[in-house]
Amino acid sequence: MNLTSALLRTSPRLISSFASQIPQRTFAMATMRSPLFTQQVVKAMQTLYPEPLADRAWDNVGLLQENFTSSASTTPTPPVVILTNDLTLSVAQEAISRNASVIISYHPFIFRGLKSITLADPQQRIVLLLAQHNIAVYSPHTAIDAAPGGMADWLASMLSSIPGVTTTVSTVTPVDTSSLGEKFAGAGYGRKVQLSKPVGLGELVTLYAKGLGGLRHVMVARPKTKEQIRIKTVAVCPGSGESVLAGVKDADLIVTGEMSHHPALKLVMEEKSVLSVFHSNSERAFLREVLKPQLEEQLKEVNGVQVLVSEEDQDPFQIVDVEDLPEDMKEDKMQTV
């Protein structure tokens, strides 16, 4: 007789009695929830730079990777947030070493849909690494670009430091802020600045190189002339501002992070100039000069809070002198015996 037949012949009362003697195992499911500090950081960023300001037609902003706490957790979330322009593996490792629980990455490190999360791709390795160390990531990107007092205004405001020159600033590519109130009126993805009197191109190049963190090298496209180029109207946009500023036809100078060859060539033929400083160099100093103190003020009620700026974050490009290469680019000299 097999077991099934035996069970079929067993009385229901006996089966019930047998079942009641089996030890009952219960599983306590820990309740996962967003840590309070992560919620405070997200609220602070959304207060400063509301997500509706971002260009969601293509951009990916908001809380891109969440961390969690649980009812079973005994370790408090460290109130440490680290600011970076780009979230690379080096920055992720830095965040871990500095005990950060939240990263604010200006550029979104997840931009398009992921079909897998493996070790084969560096972006996906970052996701795994941060998940392992329970670190959240928030990205504001174009919300910071557009907001009054944000990155576009920051670039425009540098021109107000020119001695004896007043400026009139207007918004390029305005954003509908009717749902956000008067505080965010004038938001948009670029700025046009009218100077009260013409200023030499060289003076403006020097001004921006200093204002963007003391850059030693920038790229300038300009018409060839024997006379000094004078600038009366400037259009500015952080990052890749080519399309944003395309409609500003009366600008004498375009200031942006990068511009491709043919648009720059066209502007030069129209007797205009372009100052290009490499993409993230037009953005990075904003984190230290503006966003860090803003967040510190927003989070001042959080006990022990630290707002740190990444020391690993840097633009992937650098200008090199081929006659004086950096040590890590020099060929090893073989010693002959």
Give binding residues as ranges.
107, 145, 279, 283
Binding annotation for a divalent metal cation: 107, 145, 279, 283
Distances (CA, A) of 319 to 262, 324, 325: 21, 11, 10
